[in-house]
């Protein structure tokens, strides 16, 4: 019977072989060839569980049979039991170290488990045994891509394609690596080649769409996602990618639909749930908000890849949760990358080279705050270099910034690796990340270590959760000393955190209430923070305040048309006439500042406070009422108010916040006194003393530079007023 079974198997009659060999095992339960061959038949039929059971029985009989160990390992891996397959993979290559297929399978399993360095060892061994092994070269390139070693990944893909030019996965993988290197046109050419070889290759269509997105060719990107979806309607990545492009186009309703679809197809898809919730917050769509937030928090606590940490800043002021979120994101997206090797220590110099890295060197809130800082740096002690991660928007701000720096480099088309290498080549001593995890930021630059000293400032209001950012700039209000545990960086404690530009012009235009859509009489509360910062709980308080102050209105900014309709609806639900919610229009910067003068009190959001908008209001003479929280982003407005001498407008809970807003609105003399104080003291307060701020920041730079030159590890730095 065994011989008949073997003959049937060898002739391709698997059903016949299956039937015969089962009878063999009924007679002889330990018949090794029957167990082995039957296991192979089950694996070929993709019945991996049964295959693994049969092969495991064979392995117990002949534990030193390399072929059985290999086939058992492969059946376990193919069935999704990668971890369980590792001991058998290991044993198979120990018993038969010259089997390239076994090394390849071992490497693929290690890659599936995220052990990409181990996988590379396996692929290299396979290639040493079989130099023309295209699949091994292909998989080595994929592992290098996962390790963010994109230039090496390109070389490996080229090797695979030299061996087999029709290897469609090779064209795709090389395209993906080229995209990461920002060689977009080349990436597109490779996707096109893959599609020409395999027209129904949905992954290539979707990846080409993602590359077109990077080139801001959004309509073409959407067409490619649609093609991928038509080929494979359950391909969640295409739905996610299309959602991201629609998000970029501010077609938020469609983005929500596509993110929802992606999650329905793959509920644990990386980061998509957080993206969906963030878009909903942008349009103030709060259906099931509390349930969604609780789910997100549970996922972060379980160390799942659920959300970009930036979106979490506006949802909770739990500093520990924010740190965990950043650690998850940084570990997955931007792990430390040793590709450039250690930085050779340079002798101490009289002139320290500072590199500022930002995608916001343009008409953007970050530059609105920092422009004068760059102009005031002591050029005798510091050389300043800008690395712009965004193309020239040809704005007056861009021109001003170009003139402010000793060198201004448009690095927008360079890869993270190339920018980090350039920073090293230029001898940058201190690299300052002005973006963090904000939109268009490039945290990957710092994962290569662009400079011996790296710190974060102004753009991202939280910890980066990694080991390669050395410092984070703050003050003692934003990060009390007993909260340092929630930040992976050492803290630079300045007397005042937020820098400001004293050259901002406020228009002389005298707005009438009618021009702004406001009633002729009544107290005007306002908030021009981003809409995603408005939580339902904050809106609850605002509506109670309006109810308590007769004739008052709330003046807001709507980034999109859905905000206006949704917030008016939410007001009515809370028993407040939607007519008492007034939405401002987009204005030139100087007129935008001037409109603050017609308002009476700025109501801050929590847990993500006003930052630039807070400085705008105070610069224009409008007081802010804030509620201080626990984490960085929820303490910024308290820092601003302290720095401008208005600590009395800092509250500690919702009840205090609500009561003080009502008290001020009903006491014109109190409000007048606050505004008079601001008018007389504003320019001499720390908040708007930009030369003093610049000297304090430079003092911090000098301290961290001296610490490094002394061979000491970073420690928290304290700069006194």
Strand ranges of the sheet holding 524-527, from the earlier edge strand across to the other edge: 581-584, 553-557, 524-527, 601-603, 624-627, 650-651
Alpha helices, H only, 377-415: 396-404
Residue with tokens 């979707």: 206
Give the pLDDT of residue 679: 85
Whole-number Å distance between alpha carbons of 661 and 549: 9
Please determine, for residue 683, whether its predicted confidence score (pLDDT) is greater than 90: no
pLDDT at 684: 86
Q: What is the mean pLDDT of residues 485-492?
A: 98
Is the sign of the CA dihedral 636, 642, 646, 649 positive or negative? positive
Q: Which of 277, 336, 270, 330 is nearest to 305 (CA)?
A: 270
Q: What pLDDT does 681 receive?
A: 81
DSSP 31: -
Mean pLDDT rounded to a whole number for the chain: 96
pLDDT in tens, 530-573: 999 999 999 999 999 999 999 999 999 999 999 999 999 999 99
Provide the pLDDT for residue 680: 82
> Which of 567-577 are b and which e, b meaning 16 or more Cβ less than 10 Å from the residue's Cβ?
bbebbeeeebe
Q: Measure the CA–CA gap between 545 and 639, rounded to whole angstroms.
A: 24
β-pair partners for 358: 388
Q: Report residue 181 as tokens.
A: 């290197």
Count of other CB atoms within 10 angstroms of residue 231: 17
What number of helices (H) and strands (E) belong to the chain?
32, 14
User: Residues 434, 459: contact at Cβ < 8 Å?
Assistant: yes
pLDDT at 246: 98
Three-state secondary-structure class, residue 582: strand
Q: What are phi and psi of 293, to 5 degrees?
A: -65, -45
SS3 state at 552: coil
pLDDT of residue 163: 97
> Hey, which bits of 477-570 come out as E strands?
490-493, 524-527, 553-557
The confidence band for 647, taking pLDDT boundaries of 50, 70 and 90, is very high
pLDDT at 380: 96
Structure tokens at 282: 């942008």
What percentage of the chain exceeds 90 in pLDDT?
94
Determine which of 8-22, 79-93, 207-221, 222-236 has the lowest per-residue pLDDT on average.
8-22
Q: By percentage, how much of the chain surpasses pLDDT 70?
A: 100
Alpha-carbon span 26 to 256, nearest angstrom = 57
Decide if pLDDT at 721 tops 90. Answer: no
- Give the count of alpha carbons within 13 A of 291, CB side only: 3
CA distances from 425 to 340, 419, 450 (A): 11, 10, 9
Sheet holding 382-388, edge to edge: 407-410, 382-388, 352-358, 430-433, 453-456, 471-474, 490-493, 717-718
CA separation for the pair 147, 13 (Å, rounded) = 44
296 pLDDT band, cuts 50/70/90, is very high
User: What is the residue whose two structure tokens read 């027209």?
Assistant: 199
Q: Report the SS3 class of residue 62.
A: coil
3-state secondary structure 506-531: CCCCCCCCCCCCCCCCCCEEEECCCH
Contact of 38 with 68, CB cutoff 8 Å: no
Q: How far apart are CA 637 and CA 497, in angstroms?
A: 10
| CB-CB contact of 441 with 460 (8 Å) | yes
What pLDDT shows up at residue 315? 98
Residue 682: pLDDT band with limits 50, 70, 90 = confident
Q: What is the pLDDT of residue 12?
A: 87
Which residues, 6 or more positions from 22, have their beta carbon under 8 angstroms from its beta carbon? 38
The predicted structure's pLDDT at residue 639 = 98
The alpha carbon torsion through 505, 678, 611, 556 (nearest 10 deg) reads: -80
Q: Which domains does the chain have, with CATH numbers?
A: 2-242 (1.25.40.10), 342-493 (3.40.50.11380), 524-687 (3.40.50.2000)
pLDDT digits (tens, 9 = 90+) for 574-611: 999 999 999 999 999 999 999 999 999 999 999 999 99
Model pLDDT, residue 18: 86
Span 695-717, average pLDDT: 97
Nearest residue to 191 (alpha-carbon basis) of 183, 152, 416, 245: 183
In 3D space, the residue among 720, 717, 645, 646 whose CA is nearest the CA of residue 686 turns out to be: 645
Handedness of CA 547, 551, 552, 558 (dihedral sign): positive
Per-residue model confidence (pLDDT) at position 578:
97
DSSP 8-state code for residue 438: S
CA-closest candidate to residue 4, choices 19, 27, 23, 20: 20
Helix (H) or strand (E) holding 433, with range, is: strand 430-433
Predicted pLDDT at 524: 98
**476: pLDDT strictly greater than 90:** yes
Q: How far is the C-alpha of 27 from the C-alpha of 500, rounded, in Å?
A: 87
For residues 646 and 625, give the distance between their C-alpha atoms in angstroms, rounded to a whole number. Answer: 10
Rounded to whole angstroms, the Cα distance separating 135 from 148 reads 20
Rounded distance between C-alpha atoms, residue 168 and residue 183, angstroms: 19
Q: What is the mean pLDDT of residues 149-160?
A: 96
Per DSSP bridges, beta strands 601-603 and 453-456 are unpaired
CA distance 38 to 6: 10
Token pair 């095992």 is found at: 25
Mean pLDDT of the region 677-706: 94
Q: What is the mean pLDDT of residues 182-189?
A: 97
3-39 tens-digit pLDDT = 998 888 888 888 888 888 999 989 999 999 999 999 8
Amino acid 636: pLDDT: 98
What token pair was written down for 78? 């193919």
Between residues 101 and 6, the one the model is more confident about: 101
Work out the average pLDDT over 418-435: 98
Say what the pLDDT of residue 8 is.
87
> Can you tell me the distance from the alpha carbon of 465 to that of 327, in angstroms, rounded to the nearest whole number?
4
Rounded to an integer, what distance in angstroms lies between the CA atom of residue 256 and that of residue 249? 13
- Range with the lowest mean pLDDT among 239-248, 407-416, 503-512, 674-683? 674-683
Q: What is the 3-state secondary structure (H, E, C) of 291-329?
A: HHHHHHHHHHHCCCCCCCHHHHHCCCCCHHHHHHHHHHH
Query: Which residues are within 8 A (CB) of 35 and not within 5 positions of it... i.e. 6 or more apart?
Result: 25, 54, 55, 57, 58, 61
> Rounded CA gap, 321 and 219, in Å?
38
pTM summary value: 0.93
H runs (alpha helix) in 62-167: 66-78, 82-95, 100-112, 116-129, 134-146, 150-163
Q: Are 403 and 322 in contact (CB under 8 A)?
A: no
705 pLDDT tier (thresholds 50, 70, 90): very high
Sign of CA dihedral 100, 102, 105, 106: negative
In order of 92, 133, 263, 338, 678, the CA distances from 122 in angstroms are 12, 13, 35, 20, 68
Task: Please give the average per-residue pLDDT across 332-357, as a whole number.
Answer: 95
Q: SS3 for 227-289, per residue?
A: HHHHHCCCCHHHHHHHHHHHHHCCCHHHHHHHHHHHHHHCCCCCCHHHHHHHHHHHCCCCCCH
């Amino acid at each position: 019977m065994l011989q008949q079974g073997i003959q049937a198997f060898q002739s391709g009659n698997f059903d016949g072989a299956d039937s015969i060999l089962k009878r063999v095992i009924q007679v002889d339960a330990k018949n090794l060839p029957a167990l082995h061959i039957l296991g192979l038949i089950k694996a070929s039929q993709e019945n991996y569980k049964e295959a693994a059971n049969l092969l495991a029985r064979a392995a117990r009989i002949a534990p030193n049979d390399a072929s059985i160990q290999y086939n058992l390992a492969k059946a376990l891996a193919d069935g999704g039991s990668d971890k369980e397959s590792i001991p058998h993979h290991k044993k198979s290559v120990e018993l038969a170290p010259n089997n390239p297929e076994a090394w390849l399978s071992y490497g693929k399993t290690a890659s599936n488990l995220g052990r990409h360095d181990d996988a590379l060892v396996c692929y290299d061994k396979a290639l040493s045994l079989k130099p023309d092994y295209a699949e091994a070269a292909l998989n080595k390139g994929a592992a290098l891509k996962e390790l963010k070693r994109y230039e090496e990944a390109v070389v490996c893909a080229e090797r695979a394609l030299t061996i087999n030019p029709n290897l469609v996965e090779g064209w795709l993988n090389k395209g993906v690596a080229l995209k990461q290197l920002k060689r977009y046109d080349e990436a597109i050419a490779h996707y096109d080649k893959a599609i020409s070889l395999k027209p129904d290759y949905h992954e290539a269509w979707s990846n080409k769409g993602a590359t077109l997105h990077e080139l801001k060719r959004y309509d073409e990107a959407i067409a490619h996602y649609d093609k991928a979806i038509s080929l494979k309607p359950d391909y969640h990545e295409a739905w996610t990618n299309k959602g991201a492009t629609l998000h970029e186009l501010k077609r938020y309703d469609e983005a929500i639909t596509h993110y929802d679809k992606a999650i329905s197809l793959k509920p644990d898809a990386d980061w998509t749930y957080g993206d969906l919730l963030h878009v909903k917050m942008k349009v103030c769509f709060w259906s099931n908000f509390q349930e969604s937030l609780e789910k997100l928090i549970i996922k972060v606590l379980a160390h799942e890849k659920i959300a970009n940490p930036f979106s979490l800043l506006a949802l909770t002021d739990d500093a520990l949760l924010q740190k965990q979120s950043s650690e998850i994101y940084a570990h997955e997206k931007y792990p430390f990358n040793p590709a450039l090797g250690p930085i050779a220590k340079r002798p101490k110099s009289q002139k320290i080279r500072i590199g500022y890295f930002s995608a916001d060197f343009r008409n953007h809130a970050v530059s609105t705050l920092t422009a004068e800082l760059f102009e005031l740096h002591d050029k005798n002690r510091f050389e300043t270099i800008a690395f712009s991660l965004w193309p020239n928007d040809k704005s007056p701000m861009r021109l001003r910034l170009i003139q402010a720096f000793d060198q201004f480099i448009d690095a927008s088309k360079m890869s993270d690796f190339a920018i980090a290498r350039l920073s090293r080549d230029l001898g940058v001593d201190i690299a300052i990340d002005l973006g963090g995890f904000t939109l268009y930021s490039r945290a990957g630059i710092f994962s290569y270590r662009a400079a011996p000293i790296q710190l974060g400032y102004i753009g991202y209001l939280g910890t980066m959760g990694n080991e390669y950012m050395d410092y984070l700039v703050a003050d003692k209000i934003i990060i009390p000393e007993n909260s340092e545990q929630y930040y992976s960086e050492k803290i630079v404690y300045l007397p005042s955190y937020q820098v400001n530009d004293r050259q901002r012009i406020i228009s002389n235009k005298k707005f009438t209430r009618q021009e702004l859509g406001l009633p002729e009489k009544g107290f005007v509360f306002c908030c021009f923070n981003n809409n995603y910062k408005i939580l339902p709980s904050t809106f609850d308080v605002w509506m109670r305040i309006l109810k308590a102050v007769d004739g008052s209105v709330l003046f807001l900014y709507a980034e999109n048309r859905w905000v206006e309709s949704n917030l008016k609806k939410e007001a009515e639900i809370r028993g407040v006439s939607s007519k008492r919610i007034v939405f401002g229009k987009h204005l030139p910067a100087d007129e935008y500042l001037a409109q603050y003068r017609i308002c009476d009190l700025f109501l801050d959001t929590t847990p993500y406070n006003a930052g630039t908008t807070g400085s705008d209001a105070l610069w224009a003479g409008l007081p802010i009422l804030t509620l201080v929280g626990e984490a960085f982003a929820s303490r910024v407005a308290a820092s601003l108010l302290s720095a401008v001498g208005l600590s009395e407008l800092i509250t500690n809970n919702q009840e205090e916040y609500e009561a003080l807003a009502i008290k001020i609105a009903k006491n014109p003399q109190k409000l007048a006194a606050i505004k008079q104080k601001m008018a007389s003291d504003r320019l001499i307060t720390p908040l708007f003393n930009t030369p003093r701020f610049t000297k304090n920041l430079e003092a911090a730079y000098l301290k961290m530079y001296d610490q490094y030159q002394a061979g000491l590890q970073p420690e928290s730095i304290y700069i006194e007023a």
